[in-house]
A and B are shown apart, each in its own frame.
Chain A
Amino acid sequence: MATTAAAPIQRPKGTRIRRATQPYLYLLPAFIVMGIITFYPLVFQVWMSFTDFGPKNFRVNNPIAPTFVGLDNYYRIATSQLQIPNFEFLRLVFFNLWWAFSNVVLHVVIGVLVAVLLNTKGLMFRGFYRALFILPVVIPSLIVATVWRNMFDTDAGAVNFLIQGVGGLFGLPAETPGFHLNWLRQTNDPIPFIPLPLAYFAMLIANTWLGWPLNAVVATGALQSIPGELYEAAEMDGASGRQKFQHITVTYLRPAMVPYAIYGFVITFNLFFLPYFMTGGQPFGRTEILVTQAYRLAVDRQLLGVAAAFAVYLFFLLLAVTLVTNRLAKATKSYAE
């Protein structure tokens, strides 16, 4: 510390201005580029969201200026009055929140349980299993999504073949109802009173396959930092296995898992690949999430003004999600410590 304080005094005075501007010179290249291709487009997007921007406004021959429509785009989105089939804004938001929440809960629980399992002392082939279980993480998610889409195919998908195969072990013929599921398109809900289509469960299965291994890696890191003496002390006090898990394992895992769960929530909330490539929003747009809907508004429908307003909504929703989850993280942190 003393050396840093002494260093500036030894410097000649001429370097002072250079030293003051130097940090900005280091930032300049990155911020010029971000200014042009990130910040400017974001501001431009807000302006676009108040207009009826569409393909006619940037065609090569005879482009015309977009018309200012005020808050009309925002109003029509919020009240679901877009001329698009199956568009219901509130349903979309709630489905998106539930999609992220249900995934994160499953991923964290399975990840922690597998990490605890693989942390068992004396378990054979631990290194082999650890290497094997990382496989879903290393495959690009685009490919995972397209492969699972084929796996859930009604007539030729591996999942239905598997169900029929397992059923065959119990002597059930392949024609048994429920052995030939239309996973991605079935319109009536599989569980009465729960308004979630079968395609949601297909997506949940695929994303759980994809999501738990990284949670297991994080949990393993946290588990290995728990001092072994704690378990010995608990043992001496006569704690049961469940008590040890509850009071030692969970307590030590919480500080590592909570930030990671929040990160997972935001990632899953914005997970484009699965809904877009697996279900394509089927049936009736009910597995669409905000990012895929935004993409469709722009790319399929060419409603650029509406898509811009939609992106602004998305920004504020994400901001709210981030603020709420950060607050939750702080609350659990003070509880854990």
Chain B
Amino acid sequence: MAAITDSRRFAFLRRSSAKTKAAGSDERKLPVGRQILLQVLCIFIAVTVLFPIVWIFSMSIDPRNIARPDALNLIPPGASFDAYAKVLNRPTSNDISFLGLAKNSLLIALSSSAIAVALGVTAAYAFSRLRFRGRGALMIAVLGVLMLPGVATLVPLFVFLNQFKIEFGDLSFNLRASLIGVTLAVISGQLPFAIWNLKGYLDTIPKDLEEAATVDGASKNQVFLKIILPLAIPAVAVTGFLGFLGGWTEYLTTYYFIGANPQNWTLAIALNSMVGDFARTTTWSEFAAFAIVFALPVSLVFFFFQRYLVGGLAVGGVKG
């Protein structure tokens, strides 16, 4: 009984949905009522997604430079970019500019991702293409480390790197308390991921090309350098970018190893010093502007290349 009344009341729905199915994958028009209903749903989801982003943006252009916002304003009265000028000049109470912080972050991110990818791609080639004794055990070792969170190797790395005192000309520093020490720790987290992600990609490259080259007398080294490496460049770029992203926002190791020296601070440490209880002197406009400038470069790259990057994320992209 209910079914009959239902089908009568929503006759327009049933008819058109039957037509849609019959037409298969053709793009067909939804009935207006349903289209509106689904659009409302989509807009609601869009609002929830955009809410924090719009809020942080409107806060960043609040000109009143009040310590805390007092209401929800899309565009606050008299909006200006003063907060951006302030944070680019001197974001924290320490004597270091945004560029100084960004330089330290960049150093960690670039060197760690470049080294991890360079070391990772040769190992990935061996795991993907060569047969040798102990292959299974070594792969499990890599996978086991990949599973560990960054915090699990933090303490021994601190003690281990703390033993090295570097003397280089006039320079004399403790390896642990330097950006190089942090970079080493970050590489330790990135290398297993680089190996695993690149191996996954190399496995998908068909073997025909290599076989043809081998028949023509190419050695394994030639196959690697002339065939595999050029084909793997997209995956190398993706892995490198995901590693860069991890290094760019690295916090745990950096804060623990060099948090005491503000000249070595990175963007991530500065950001945390601008939030909550630590931030009695920072206005929220400045925090918001800083967060946006910090996130924008990597977020834009990520957004435009998401098609290639999302797959890598699903393997365990960024270690927390």
Contacts and interface: CB of A to CB of B under 8 A. Distances in A.
Given A117-B41, A140-B299, A158-B72, A132 B49 contact: yes
Nearest to B42: A129
Chain B binding surface SS class: helix
A272 B162 contact: no
B320 A141 contact: yes
B77 interface: no
A9 B306 CA distance: 46
A7 B272 CA distance: 59
A273 B291 contact: no
Interface residues of B, number: 106
Interface stretch (B83-91, B182-190, B230-238): B182-190
B55 A30 contact: no
A297 B78 CA distance: 47
Contact of A298 (B56, B154, B316): B154
Contacts of B68: 153, 155-156
Interface string A9-20: 000000000011
A273 B249 CA distance: 11
A135 B252 contact: no
Contacts of B302: 137-138
Contacts of B214: 3-4, 7
B71 to A, nearest CB: 6
A112 B307 CA distance: 19
Contacts of B131: 23
B295 A139 contact: yes
Contacts of A178: none
B155 interface: yes
Contacts of A120: 30, 38
A123 interface: yes
Interface centre among A37, A129, A294 (most CB of B within 10 A): A37
- Give the dominant DSSP class at A's interface: helix
Interface string A121-142: 1111100010011111111111
Interface string A149-165: 11101011010011001
A209 B48 contact: yes
Contacts of B42: 117-118, 123, 125, 129
B28 interface: yes
Interface in B155-169: 155-160, 162-163
Nearest to A148: B52
A30 B255 CA distance: 26
A143 B21 CA distance: 44
B227 to A, nearest CB: 15
B35 A156 contact: no
B247 to A, nearest CB: 11
B70 interface: yes
Interface in B215-273: 215, 220-221, 224, 245, 248-249, 251-252, 255-256, 268, 271-272
22 contacts: A26-B123, A26-B125, A27-B127, A31-B138, A37-B188, A39-B141, A42-B152, A120-B38, A122-B28, A123-B38, A134-B310, A140-B245, A140-B295, A218-B314, A232-B21, A232-B22, A260-B314, A263-B314, A272-B150, A272-B151, A295-B252, A322-B147
Given A24-B132, A33-B119, A295-B256, 20 more contacts: A7-B214, A22-B220, A24-B126, A30-B122, A42-B152, A44-B156, A48-B159, A114-B45, A117-B41, A122-B35, A132-B49, A135-B50, A139-B295, A141-B318, A143-B249, A151-B52, A153-B68, A162-B72, A298-B256, A322-B147
